């Protein structure tokens, strides 16, 4: 535990600190650029893009070795991976636009084919004399070993460019995500904006390959956005909340893996992000599951309370045990089911409002007002006091209700 705290405060050595700072930056960049893939409902495109990096890694290695260089040169490998990822991306876009296949089929086809080619290339490289110690498998699931200073620099520069570009393009990207037809009518080039969106995701994917690996990077792109959605209703905020969630999760995840050296960094980061997602899912104030359950319970209670009071007013028996419990708990009926003084008063009010509504719907043909007759909205919320007095006049008979008039 103290090892974890040391790591969290960047006290676990130079290499661990480097990994954590790099991870935090990557997490932030992935969270922001992934948000638009989520909003555009293209989350899985980023998964296909990630898988499409693998053949590029293999090809770049082989080319660099054949040219007599070091096959493990990171910049060379990243350029190779970006190239095939971009081809995969264009292929998905082309298939979806030019053929009758839906985008999900295009994603599946490209993801599978490119990943397959990549695995074949890795096997070929294993048989090459220079390939024995290549360590290219670490691109699949990320490396457990530390990060080089140069890796951190790549992440810092690439991540910053991705975040800046996302910020710069946020308006057109929001517009295209929400309403592509309107964007096109305004004169925006929707296809180019879509490609920009995916290009940013590709950039983050490529710089994150070494740390998280191509199989899990989709989690860092999408889960922060999905998590942030629980906490806000504004698209400009979801962007930064997703960035912060991604950054914090990656930083904490890297700290955990630094304090327990045998644990791989990428999967731990993904798990920490997943924990934040589950917590948001359960506890978020409006969209969360527990908030929804509480809202539903309250609504149910209101329905039962009103139906029970109407039954009392009409002197019908109440059979539902939940209604009886509810009314008894509020002191509106005695345990034997006989209404109390307060119960009779409230029942009279419910019955009277019901008759007022009947008049209101005759007087006001306006759908905007009478549309609010749902049995639960208090009539006082819809009509003014003098309007209600007018309904009472039309009803003719006065309704004296003690203490509630």
Partner 1 sequence: MGPRMTRSAVKIAAEDGQDLRAAMPPPDSPLAMRGMTVSYGEKPAVFSVDATFPARSMSAIIGPNGAGKSTLLKASLGVIPRLSGEVWVFGKPLAQARDRIAYVPQRASVDWDFPTTVIDVVQMGLYRKVGLLGRLKGLMTAQAQACLDRVGMADFAHRQIGQLSGGQQQRVFLARALAQDADLYLLDEPFAGVDAATERAIVDVLKLLKSEGKAVVAVHHDLSTVRDYFNYVFLINVRRIAEGPAQTAFTAENLNATYGGRLSATHISELTLSGGAA
- Binding region for partner 1 (CB under 8 A): 39, 41, 168-169, 171-172, 174-175, 177-179, 181-182, 184-187, 229, 232-236, 238, 366-368, 371
The structure tokens listed for 400 are 């004296």
Buried b (16+ CB within 10 A) or exposed e, 79-98: ebbbbbbbebbebbbebbee
Residue 333: strand pairing partners: 339
Q: Which is nearer to partner 1, 183 or 312 (CB)?
A: 183
Question: Measured from the CB atom, is 41 or 132 closer to partner 1?
Answer: 41
Q: Which is nearer to partner 1, 125 or 228 (CB)?
A: 228
Smallest gap from Cβ 230 to partner 1, in A, equals: 10
Helix (H) or strand (E) holding 348: helix 341-363
CA nearest 34: which of 302, 280, 239, 188? 239
Nearest-CA neighbor of 34 among 354, 267, 270?
270
Is-contact 84 96, C-beta < 8 A? no
* CB 173, min distance to partner 1, A: 11
Taking the complex as a whole, how short is the minimal distance between the CB of residue 362 and partner 1, in angstroms? 17
HEC per residue, 146-165: CCCHHHHHHHHHHHHHHHHH
* Residue among 178 and 283 whose Cβ is closer to partner 1: 178
Provide the minimum distance between the beta carbon of 367 and partner 1 in the complex, in angstroms, as a whole number.
Answer: 5
Q: 374: helix, coil or strand?
A: coil
How near is the Cβ of 96 to partner 1 at its closest, in Å?
15
| CB contact at 8 A, 55 and 114 | yes
Q: State in angstroms the smallest separation of the CB of 164 from partner 1.
A: 12
Q: Computed from CA positions of residues 174, 107, 280, 257, in that sequence, does the dihedral angle turn out positive or negative?
A: negative
User: Residue 395 and residue 20: Cα distance in Å, rounded?
Assistant: 73
Minimum distance from residue 178 beta carbon to partner 1 (Å): 5
Q: What stretch of H or E contains 281?
A: helix 265-283
Comparison of 150 and 377: residue with beta carbon closer to partner 1: 377
Q: Smaller CB distance to partner 1: residue 234 or 314?
A: 234
Q: At its nearest, how many Å lie between partner 1 and the CB of residue 371?
A: 8
- In the complex with partner 1, the residue whose CB is nearer, 115 or 230, is 230
Shortest gap between Cβ of 33 and partner 1 (angstroms)? 17
Give the nearer residue to partner 1 in terms of CB position, either 120 or 286.
Answer: 286
Q: Are 227 and 205 in contact (CB under 8 A)?
A: no
Structure tokens at 272: 């920490």
Taking the least distance from each CB to partner 1, the nearer of 163 and 254 is: 163
Residues sharing a CB contact under 8 Å with residue 198, sequence separation 6 or more, in sequence order: 37, 42, 45, 46, 49, 89
∠ at Cα 18 (17, 21), nearest 5°? 85
Beta strand extents in 241-293 (DSSP E only): none
Least Cβ distance, residue 286 to partner 1 (angstroms): 9
Output 368 or 403, the one with its CB closest to partner 1. 368
Distance CA(210)–CA(147), nearest Å, equals 9
């Amino acid at each position: 535990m103290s090892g974890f705290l040391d790591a969290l405060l960047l006290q676990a050595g130079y290499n661990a600190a480097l990994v954590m700072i790099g991870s935090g930056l990557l997490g932030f960049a992935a969270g922001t650029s992934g948000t638009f893939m989520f909003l555009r409902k293209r989350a899985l495109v980023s998964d296909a893009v990630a898988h499409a990096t693998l053949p590029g890694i293999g090809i770049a290695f082989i080319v660099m070795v054949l040219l007599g260089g070091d096959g493990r040169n990171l910049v060379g490998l990243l350029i190779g991976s970006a190239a095939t990822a971009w081809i995969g991306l264009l292929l998905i876009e082309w298939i979806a636009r030019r053929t009758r296949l839906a985008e999900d089929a295009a994603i599946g086809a490209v993801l599978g084919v490119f990943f397959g080619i990549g695995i074949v290339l890795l096997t070929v490289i294993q048989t090459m004399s220079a390939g024995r110690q290549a360590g290219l498998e670490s691109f699949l699931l990320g490396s457990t070993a530390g990060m080089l200073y140069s890796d951190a620099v790549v992440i810092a520069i690439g991540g910053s460019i991705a975040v800046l570009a996302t910020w710069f393009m946020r308006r057109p990207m929001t517009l295209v995500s929400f309403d592509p037809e309107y964007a096109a009518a305004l004169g925006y080039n929707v296809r180019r904006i879509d490609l920009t969106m995916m290009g940013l995701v590709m950039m983050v994917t490529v710089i994150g390959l070494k740390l998280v690996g191509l199989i899990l990077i989709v989690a860092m792109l999408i889960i922060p956005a999905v998590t942030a959605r629980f906490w806000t209703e504004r698209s400009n905020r979801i962007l930064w909340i997703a960035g912060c969630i991604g950054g914090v999760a990656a930083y904490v995840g890297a700290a955990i893996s630094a304090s327990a050296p045998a644990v791989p960094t990428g999967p731990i980061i993904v798990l920490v992000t997943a924990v934040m997602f589950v917590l948001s899912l359960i506890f978020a104030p409006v969209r969360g599951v527990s908030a929804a359950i509480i809202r539903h319970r309250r609504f149910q209670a209101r329905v039962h309370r009103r139906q029970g009071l109407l039954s009392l007013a009409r002197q019908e028996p109440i059979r539902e045990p939940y209604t009886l419990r509810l009314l008894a708990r509020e002191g509106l009926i005695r345990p034997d089911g006989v209404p109390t003084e307060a119960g009779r008063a409230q029942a009279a009010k419910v019955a009277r409002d019901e008759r007022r509504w009947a008049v209101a719907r005759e007087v006001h043909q306006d759908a905007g007002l009478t549309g609010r007759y749902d049995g639960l909205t208090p009539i006082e919320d819809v009509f003014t006091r003098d309007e209600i007095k007018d309904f009472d006049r039309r009803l003719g008979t006065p309704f004296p209700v003690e203490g509630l008039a």
